[in-house]
Amino acid sequence: MKDSTDSFKFSIDVILYPILFVLLIWLVFAIEIRFGLRFNKFGVLPLDVSGLKGIIFSPFIHSGISHLYSNTIPLFVLSSALFYFYRPIAFKVIIYGVLISGFITWLIGRPSYHIGASGLIYVLFSFNFFKGIFAKHYRLIALSLGVIFIYGSMFMYAFPIDNTISWEGHTAGLITGLLFALVFRKQIAKPKKYVWEEPSYNEDDDEFLRHFDENGNFIENLEEETLDELSINKNDESNTPQEVNYIYKSKTDL
């Protein structure tokens, strides 16, 4: 990541790219319905060379309207969060996430066609959650808590509790997201540091702190010479005191 200003700023791409991806998967489904086609054979077929093409195509293919609808909202929400909080690495997470999770599914999946964007959704879910925990940044931690609060139930579907669901794809997505959270661990927006948090900060140069002793007690009668010296050193490199004249005028003079 280049710097912390690259993230935490809203721009049109935060929702534009998620919307385009959602529209694309709906378009593919509309083509299937309109022309009576079935693209299931383009899904991931584990341990079959011909099934490798599904690593790329499977996220765009869904078995029905309910399957498509159930993936639409989490895909939009989690990808929008990705582009908002991690914009510089968002495309890397999505592209490599699809490839790596798809390949893991190809390795561990049952001998059937695995289709749907849920593998990518689990990548985004896992990455957003673990990344926020590792970052130790209050906004990212809040994101992690929000993700687990809204989609925490997704964890159970990474286990073989339903034979009609590709739990292998979900597990592959979780593993991939966690891996990315570790790989991109240093590429995060850094919390803003105040002056007193900088390594070069010196308390003796702080005009405000000079009004307190080492125990934190307020010094009521700070020596005038100390204040004058501080003002001179701060505002005049030649150490020449500057005069400030206050002119009083009565109402009759106005």
Claim to verify: residue 203 and residue 162 sit in the same structural domain: no
Q: Express each pLDDT in 203-212 by its tens digit.
A: 555 666 666 6
Q: Express each pLDDT in 1-32 by its tens digit.
A: 444 445 556 788 899 999 999 999 999 999 99
> How many distinct structural domains can be found in the chain?
2
> Residue 189 domain-assigned?
no
> Residue 193 domain-assigned?
no
Range of the domain at 236: 198-253
Determine which of 140-144, 151-155, 160-164, 228-232 has the lowest per-residue pLDDT on average.
Answer: 228-232
> Residue 146 domain-assigned?
yes
pLDDT of residue 74: 92
> Residue 241 domain-assigned?
yes
What's the average model confidence in pLDDT over 155-162?
A: 89
Claim to verify: residue 38 and residue 151 sit in the same structural domain: yes
pLDDT of residue 213: 62
Q: Is the pLDDT of residue 181 over 50?
A: yes
**96-110, 119-133, 157-171: which has the highest mean pLDDT?**
96-110
Claim to verify: residue 75 and residue 14 sit in the same structural domain: yes
CATH number at residue 152: 1.20.1540.10
Q: Express each pLDDT in 234-245 by its tens digit.
A: 555 555 555 555
3-state SS of the chain is CCCHHHCCCCCCHHHHHHHHHHHHHHHHHHHHHHHCCCCHHHCECCCCHHHHHHHHHHHHCCCCHHHHHHHHHHHHHHHHHHHHHCHHHHHHHHHHHHHHHHHHHHHHCCCCCECCCHHHHHHHHHHHHHHHHHHCCHHHHHHHHHHHHHHHHHHHHHCCCCCCCCHHHHHHHHHHHHHHHHHCCCCCCCCCCCHHHCCCCCHHHCCCHHHECCCCCECCCCCHHHHHHHHHHHHCCCCCCCCCCCCCCCHHHC
Q: Is the pLDDT of residue 58 over 90?
A: yes
Q: Which of 124, 152, 183 is the last residue of a domain?
A: 183
pLDDT of residue 150: 82
